Structure 1
Amino acid sequence: MPAAIQGRSGVRAEGSDLETNVKAIELRDLWRRYKQQGDARARERLVVTYSPLVKYVSGRMASGLPAHVEEADLISYGLVGLISAIERFDIEREIKFETYAITRIKGAIIDELRSLDWVPRSVRARAREIEKANSKLEHRLQRAPTDEEMSAELGITVDEFQDSLQQISTSTVAALDELWTVSDASGDQVSLLDTLQDPDAPDPATIMDATELKDRVADAIARLPEREKLVVALYYYENLTLREIGEVLGVTESRISQLHTKAVLRLRSRLATETDVLPG
């Protein structure tokens, strides 16, 4: 009986591999037909095939946005980014399309949310105040300031400081992803990973800038307080949601949201003092 079970299991595994190979061949054919022949049907099939990427990115972004922002709207914005990615992708490049597309899907969603300009000026102003206070204290203390030190510098209570973080986290689209992008020759936002892995990148200066920025971001992350560093690692590298991180660390999603916002503001303030390429 065990042998029979193993045999059936082996058939399933082989079948699964075969199915994967068939899909890969079909995808290559779709890309060839679209890129070389301009086949509109192939383009439509590619959009349908990769549309789950939009759902994935939209779902992750929705978890950190205000309740009135509908995930359906984010999906709509993200589809624009996906279509743009399909149209611009060079099938000769040495990167996976998924890596390339996710950056543009995120970018399209962020661009659309920014264009709506629904973030209150007071929230934007408070975020800038926190960044400046953090930069000032880090320079003076030579370490990351505590909530109590930040509150004293801002002239508010610790509760008011944490309330501000919550307001910022639920009112803005500021995210670490923005620190990992540079502009290419056409003005498009390209992930550092895209730029660094493209052996045919036409602008060596752009690669050097991207490498330097990536090193600075990595160094800034390494100097974060341990809990904030862990949140960044789980969210951006392990792809957990804020709610899932809260379950892992045994705290509320709201608290994780505050930690994430603090980490991003710290990183932005550090990079603002070291480079002029920080997104606005």
Structure 2
Amino acid sequence: MARTNNHDRVKEFDKWISWKEEGCKEAEAELVERFLPLVTKVANRLAIGLPNNVDKDDLISYGRFGLLDALNKFDHTRGLQFETYAMWRIRGAMIDGLRENDWIPRTVRDKAKKIEEAYNILEQRTLRTPTDEEVCQYLGITEKEFQQVIYDTSLSTFVSIDEAVGDEDEQKTARHSYIIDEVTPRPEAVAESQSLKEVLTHSIDKLPEKERLVVSLFYFEELTLSEIAEVMSLSPSRISQLHSKAIFRLRSSLTRFKTQLM
């Protein structure tokens, strides 16, 4: 099996050389066909938990542009895994497409921002993870209203990792750029990235048990939310809510991290 995989990698690398260095269009077409299933894979993961008015076919359409962009920008000489690089590009293209078509209303973004601020302020006050009841009390809403806000902002929590870190006047860097870097990082960038990983690791460890499990299964085990729902014997909508709350808590940690760098 190992030989077959190694043989496939050699053949794939030959195709990169044929296209990038020799201009072979046939090799380009073969690479596109080879990695096209990545678009569907990313669309299936992103579609879970999104509002019903988001059409998965639209996600796939946006994602194809992301795949082509990834193929054109990928440096095959660096020995990196194209799949990892491409999935971020594909996901980013899907999210850009959603934004351009106003899938996320301003009111939803405002609600998401208020919840994120509530988690941030309450955690600094209490030096622990705030409960839902405490967040509700701070925002002056009922728990039912809070859960509705969490549901309405589910799309925002999936988008958040691609949003820029920085103020309007700063050069913006997407959060995932700390994890996936397209160029050789500077020493200070390596230190900053390591610090961010430590912040996220600590923040994930502090999450309530169910939220921590959802984050682990979704981002590390790469299960879909529907698969996680089966594992945890909960409804997909409940898993989506747990995911949303976890991301709000993690975003508050990222905000504090950014403030410390300034």
Classify the TM-score, shorter chain: 0.7 to 0.9
Stretch moving more, 210-219 or 249-258? 210-219
* Cα distance, 1:180–1:187 mapped onto 2, change above 3 Å: closer
Q: State the Cα distance separating 1:18 from its structure 2 match.
A: 6.0
Matches within 5 A, 1:239-254: 239-254=222-237
Which residue in 2 is equivalent to 1:172? 156
2:203–2:250 CA contact under 8 A, matched in 1: yes
**1:37 partner SS:** coil
Give per-residue Cα distances to partners, 1:9-59, cap 9 Å, x unaligned.
xxxxxxx66654543332122111011112122111101101111110011
Paired AA for residue 127 in structure 2: Q
**Residues 215/179 of structure 1: CA separation in 2 closer, same or farther (3 Å cut):** farther
The 2-side partners of 1:221 and 1:179 are apart by 20
Aligned length: 256
Q: Structure 2-normalised TM-score?
A: 0.87
Backbone CA RMSD of aligned residues: 2.7
Question: 1:208 offset after TM fit, Å?
Answer: 2.9
1:223 is aligned with what amino acid? K
Distance 1:277 1:132 in 2: 16
Question: Please, which runs of 5 or more residues in structure 1 have no aligned partner?
Answer: 1-15
Tell me by how many angstroms 1:187 deviates. Answer: 8.0
The residue aligned with 1:11 is none
1:70-89 aligned within 5 A: 70-89=55-74
Q: Where in structure 2 are the equivalents of 1:85-164 lying within 5 Å? A: 85-164=70-149
Matches within 5 A, 1:1-280: 20-169=5-154, 171-172=155-156, 174-175=158-159, 177-178=161-162, 191-195=177-181, 201=184, 203-276=186-259
Q: Distance in 2 between matches of 1:61 and 1:100?
A: 16
User: Is contact 1:64–1:257 with CA below 8 Å preserved after alignment?
Assistant: yes
Q: 2: CA distance between counterparts of 1:228 and 1:109?
A: 25
1:250 maps to a residue whose letter is S
SS of residue paired to 1:206? helix
- Do the aligned residues in 2 keep the contact of 1:100 with 1:191 (CA within 8 Å)? no
CA distance in structure 1 between the partners assigned to 2:238 and 2:214 by the alignment:
11
Contact 2:46/2:158 (<8 A) preserved: no
Q: Secondary structure at the match of 1:145?
A: coil
SS at match of 2:21: helix
How far off its partner does 1:148 sit? 1.0
The two structures have a TM-score, normalised by structure 1, of 0.82
| Identical-pair percentage | 42
Gaps of 5+ in 2: none
Q: Which amino acid aligns with 1:272?
A: T
Residues 85 and 187 of structure 1, relative CA distance in 2, 3 Å threshold: farther
One-letter amino acid of the counterpart of residue 203, structure 1: R
Deviations 1:182-212 (A, max 9, x none): 9xxx9886644443xx8x7163333333222
Within 2, Cα distance between the matches of 1:210 and 1:90?
Answer: 22
* 1:235 and 1:245 in contact (8 A); partners too: yes
Q: List, as ranges, runs of 4+ consecutive aligned residues in structure 1 with deviation greater than 6 Å.
A: 179-182
Q: Which moved more, 1:25-34 or 1:269-278?
A: 269-278
Q: Structure 2 CA distance, aligned partners of 1:192 and 1:93?
A: 18
- After superposition, what is the alpha-carbon deviation per residue over 1:220-254, rounded to whole angstroms, capped at 9, x for unaligned? 21221111111000001111111111111111111
Alpha-carbon contact 1:30-1:43 (below 8 Å) kept? yes
